[in-house]
Structure 1
Amino acid sequence: MTYRRQCFLCDERVRSALRAGINLARKEHPFSIDAWVLLPDHLHCIWTLPPDDADFGIRWAIIKRYVTKQCNPELKRDDWMKPSKVKRKESTLWQRRFWEHQIRDDQDFEKHVDYIHYNPVKHGLVKQVLDWPYSTFHRYVKNGVYGHDWTGICSEEQMVDVGEP
């Protein structure tokens, strides 16, 4: 999530930096992206890491650091810099923490993938999932997992169960 919910993640420069940061992180700490949605102020994803490697943190650190280095000159807010941010060498692009959940089984995986793909509708960014371009939904349609007219099966209870930071 961005710091103070700033809406810049879908900007072309940030998207390019995210792609490059992901590729950089994958070189030293491999992972595959099973599902992803990028929203203006936050993102959701499901990653598969190698066996016996659960270090999401190092991967996020590499990605966030890369995006910050590439985009900080345009996006940093000096008026938001606090002593704790200076001490930790942080910028004003990212929230300090992230939420993680270990997928328990196939049903849990499907529920989270649906939640991820439905998120742009949930946040009122589009009326149908197909209309949001920054999502692995399109890959799932291409692979026959969803129909192009899939609208989401997430009830409010499911959204609460999945959780969001």
Structure 2
Amino acid sequence: MNDYRANRVAGHSYFFTVRLSGRGGTLLTDHIAAFGEAIRQARSRKPFHVDAWVALPDHAHAIWTLPPGDHDCATRWRAVKIAFSKSLGKSGAGAGLDTIWEPHYQQHAVGAGTDDYAVLVDYIHHNPLRHGLCAAPHEWQWSSLHRFIAAGMVAPSTPPVKSKRP
């Protein structure tokens, strides 16, 4: 079996945490299709590769790799947040909310040739388990782990990794 955590592409990679302003809600997973479409729209305007991701009820984690020489994460996340917010506004799901997203996001550059990348991919895929949302990582449907399982890069029964939060 391949090492799915070494599934890197050329360019600079970044780990992100983005949070909704309403902690404890389920807006993100309730409207996961709108979130996915917002990502697709942002990628069509300013390309990037989504190496790994997980969407939880009120926040998401991702590793993105940008094209070589491109470091503009802010424009991409702004586009995702705007598209998601507009979609919720059109559907009425955002009614009564002053703001949907926290204004900032956490970003961590993932150094080439370090163990950081593998640790962060594991962190992303095991995050629903840490939050008590499932009994095993493959049970959480909103995760790139399923893409790695389908490609034969990892078995669904991969045990949890005991790692510190980034």
Identity percentage over the alignment?
34
SS at match of 1:75: coil
Decide which of 24, 38, 63 is 2:80's aligned counterpart.
63
- Please give the alpha-carbon distance, in whole angstroms, between the structure 2 residues aligned to 1:128 and 1:20: 27
Decide which of 60, 74, 77 is 2:93's aligned counterpart.
74
Matched, 1:99 2:128: no
Which residue identity lines up with residue 74 of structure 1 in the other structure? A
SS at match of 2:81: helix
Residue 21 of structure 2 corresponds to which residue in structure 1?
3
Residue 123 of structure 1 corresponds to which residue in structure 2?
131
- Please give the alpha-carbon distance, in whole angstroms, between the structure 2 residues aligned to 1:130 and 1:147: 9
Structure 1 segment 1-165 matched on structure 2, within 5 A: 1-5=19-23, 6-11=25-30, 14-72=31-89, 73-78=92-97, 81=98, 92-104=99-111, 105-153=113-161, 155=162, 158-160=163-165, 162=166
Q: How many residues matched? A: 144
Q: Deviations over 1:102-134 (max 9, x none)?
A: 111352111000000000000000011111000
Structure 1 residues without counterparts, runs of 5 or longer: 82-91
Higher strand share: 2
Q: What TM-score do you get using the length of structure 1 for normalisation?
A: 0.82
Which residue identity lines up with residue 22 of structure 1 in the other structure? I
Kindly indicate whether the alpha-carbon contact (under 8 Å) linking 1:76 and 1:93 is maintained by their aligned counterparts in 2: no
SS at match of 2:153: coil
Structure 2 residues without counterparts, runs of 5 or longer: 1-18
- Please give the alpha-carbon distance, in whole angstroms, between the structure 2 residues aligned to 1:135 and 1:68: 21
4+ aligned runs moved over 6 Å, structure 1:
none
Q: Which has the larger radius of gyration?
A: 1
Higher helix share: 1
Q: Deviations over 1:23-75 (max 9, x none)?
A: 21112210010001010000000011001111111011001101111103322
SS at match of 1:117: helix
- Please give the alpha-carbon distance, in whole angstroms, between the structure 2 residues aligned to 1:113 and 1:42: 16
Cα RMSD, aligned residues only: 1.4
Q: Using the TM superposition, give the Cα deviation of residue 77 of structure 1 relative to its aligned residue in structure 2, in angstroms.
A: 2.8
Q: What TM-score do you get using the length of structure 2 for normalisation?
A: 0.81
